[in-house]
């Protein structure tokens, strides 16, 4: 019998994933990664166990808090110190879900496959694997999964790709799963409410006075309590008055703790550089056109990619808003939208 390990978070997507495999006759086990030593992490484990008990499957709790602290929280903190805007979900997928949890499922529990509730479709291009968009365009999750390797693709299953989110909730309701009323998580999991990101950064990094500088005049136009609070393209929360038009963050210098601001047109660019750039599967071209996202919640835009070893330059025919160091730029095939690769924005 085929044995599948489901990354079980206690949420509706992973719960239905486990249910679907059980209904198909697979041997299903649930694995919950305990990300932090906190009440919220304990609650996740309890919720996941309730789902496993309801489905009658074995449930394992894997303490990954040390690795999560180093690879995700540590990365998150360091990025803000360098005036970058990190992407903790993509890093967690790479280092934790398809790191410690994937390895535990395949190597320790001897599972044939590892499955999650992500909305993506694994497909083959010749002899290689990649991902294609899921049925529900509002749930594009290829962006957060662009770092997966060929070996990981070959042992990963995404059964939700053919469903819309509304259908998943209907299934959870029909089978009375404990997660049927669970809300989608939109927050950073290691910053528990009511604490905000700003609260967290002040606690972690501390306040440090710096200047707002107008990029057009070069003059100081205000003060702030730490450049790490801001991200490229930000308008709200600047507390800068006395200007005829709204000002936006257009550049951040962590060395001088300076935030440069200007009118909205100054927050657009036509080129960016990437580090750790890679192709999802081998193809000959190192210069090619793509559809891309440089943030998760943006529409697709066209770009031209030029790869140099593990670095890349992207050119945009039309200026794009808010090129943000620290975020991922992900490449999609210009014809059918399958995943081509991506990298991390440097500038």
Mapped to the 3 state alphabet, what secondary structure does the chain carry? CCEEEEECCCCHHHHHHHHHHHHCCCEEEEEEEECCCCHHHHHHHHHHHHHHHHHCCEEEEEECHHHHHHHHHHHHHHHHHCCCCCCHHHHHHHHHHHHHHHHHHHHHCCCCEEECCCCCEEEEECCEEEEECCCCHHHCCHHHHCCCCHHHHHCEECHHHHCCHHHHHHHHHHCCCCCCCCCCCCCCCCCCCCCCHHHHHHHHHCCCCEEEEECCCCCEEEEECCHHHCCCCCCCCCCCCCCCCCCEEEEEECCCCEEEEECHHHHEEEEEEEEEEEECCCCCCCEEEEEEECCCCCCCEEEEEEEECCEEEEEEEEEEECCCCCCEEEEECCCCCCEEEEEEECC
204 — phi, psi (to 5°)?
Answer: -85, -45
| Contact (Cβ atoms closer than 8 angstroms) between residue 304 and residue 236 | no
Annotation says 92 is catalytic: yes
C-alpha dihedral (151, 155, 156, 157), degrees to nearest 10: 150
Exposure of 20 in the CB half-sphere (CA atoms within 13 A): 21
Catalytic residue among 92, 95, 111, 227: 92
Annotation says 189 is catalytic: yes
Catalytic residue among 45, 89, 111, 189: 189
| Residues present in the chain in total | 347
125 — phi, psi (to 5°)?
Answer: -115, 100
Q: Give the burial string for 81-105 (b: 16+ CB within 10 Å, else e).
A: eebbbbbbbbbbbbbbbbbbbbebb
Catalytic residue numbers, as ranges: 92, 189
């Amino acid at each position: 019998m085929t044995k599948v390990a489901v990354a079980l978070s206690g949420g509706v997507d992973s719960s239905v994933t486990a249910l679907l495999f059980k209904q198909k006759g697979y041997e299903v086990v649930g694995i919950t990664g305990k990300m932090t030593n906190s009440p919220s992490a304990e609650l996740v484990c309890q919720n996941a166990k309730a789902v496993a008990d309801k489905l009658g499957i074995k449930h394992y709790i894997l303490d990954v808090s040390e690795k999560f602290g180093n690879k995700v929280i540590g990365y998150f903190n360091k990025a803000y110190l360098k005036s970058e805007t990190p992407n903790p979900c993509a890093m967690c997928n790479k280092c934790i879900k398809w790191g410690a949890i994937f390895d535990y499922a395949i190597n320790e529990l001897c599972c044939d496959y590892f499955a999650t509730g992500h909305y993506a479709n694994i497909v083959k291009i010749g002899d290689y694997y990649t991902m294609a968009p899921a049925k529900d365009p509002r749930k594009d999750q290829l962006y957060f999964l662009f770092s997966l390797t060929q070996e990981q693709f070959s042992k990963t299953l995404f059964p939700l790709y053919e469903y819309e989110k509304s259908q998943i909730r209907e299934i959870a309701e029909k089978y009375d799963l404990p997660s049927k009323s669970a809300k989608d998580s939109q927050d950073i999991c290691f910053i528990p409410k009511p604490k905000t990101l700003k609260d967290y950064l002040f606690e972690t990094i501390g306040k440090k006075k710096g200047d707002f500088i107008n990029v057009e005049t070069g003059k100081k136009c205000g003060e702030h309590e730490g450049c790490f609070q801001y991200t490229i393209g930000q308008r709200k929360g600047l507390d800068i008055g006395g200007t005829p038009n709204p000002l936006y963050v257009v550049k951040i210098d962590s060395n001088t703790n300076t935030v440069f601001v200007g009118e909205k047109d100054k927050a657009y660019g036509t080129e960016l550089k990437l580090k750790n750039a890679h192709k999802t599967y081998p193809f000959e071209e190192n210069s090619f056109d793509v559809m891309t996202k440089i943030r998760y919640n943006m529409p697709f835009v066209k770009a031209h990619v030029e790869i140099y070893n593990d670095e890349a330059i992207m050119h945009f025919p039309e200026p794009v808003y808010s090129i943000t160091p620290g975020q991922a730029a992900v490449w999609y095939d210009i014809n059918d939208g399958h995943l081509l690769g991506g990298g991390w924005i440097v500038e």
